[in-house]
Amino acid sequence: MISKLVGLVPRDWLVYMYKHMPFNGLKNWLVYRAQNKFLVAVLGIFTNEAGQILLLKHVYRKEPWGIPGGWMELEKPELALERELKEETGLSVKSIELVKAIYGTKPNRVDLIFRGRVIEGDFKKSSEISEIMYCTMDDWPDGLPMEQRKLIKEFGSVAP
């Protein structure tokens, strides 16, 4: 509602009001309320020592196999991905580099794609992940979405 009202105010006026408004807390509250919202997802292409790609079997998806990922909380993106993987599988990973950001819809979101290495740990089943597998390029299991195959091909073979 506030974002629609703010949209009616000329931008020059908004800048002037923001610059001269004395209450930072109120100013920040208004700016936050006036902006559109979206989620941030973190996804990772992780390899083991042999260079194989880690895939997870998600219990709630129509195409169950996929790269690790999850929603960010109020944390650094790399730490969010490392946390998600530890919670869902028991594996420890190290996110090495951000390789791509993608805007998506349904829901509106930004997907941050990282690559990195599996460091250690033994797989533990969770309510979200029923099994894991390591595979080589193009040796995919049935049920791996085409979009993720493309991401793996683009960034998986040159993982640091």
pLDDT band at 2 (very low <50, low <70, confident <90, very high): low
State the amino acid at position 54 in one-letter form: L
Q: Where are the beta strands (DSSP E) in 35-158?
A: 39-47, 53-58, 65-66, 69-71, 92-104, 109-120, 129-135
User: Which residue bears the tokens 């730490």?
Assistant: 79
3-state secondary structure of 153: helix
d(CA 136, CA 122): 20
The values of phi and psi at residue 148, to 5°, are: -75, -35
Q: How much is the pLDDT for 1?
A: 62
d(CA 124, CA 97): 26
Q: How much is the pLDDT for 16?
A: 76
pLDDT tens string 43-92: 999 999 999 999 999 999 899 999 999 999 999 999 999 999 999 999 99
d(CA 58, CA 96): 24
State the amino acid at position 153 in one-letter form: K
pLDDT tens string 22-41: 777 777 777 777 777 789 99
Q: How far is CA 118 from CA 35, 73, 94, in A?
A: 37, 22, 7
Domains delineated in the chain: 2-34 (no CATH), 39-155 (3.90.79.10)
**Cβ 30 vs Cβ 58: under 8 Å:** no
Residue 138 has pLDDT above 90, yes or no: no
**Cβ 102 vs Cβ 114: under 8 Å:** no
* Strand-pair partners of 109: 39, 104
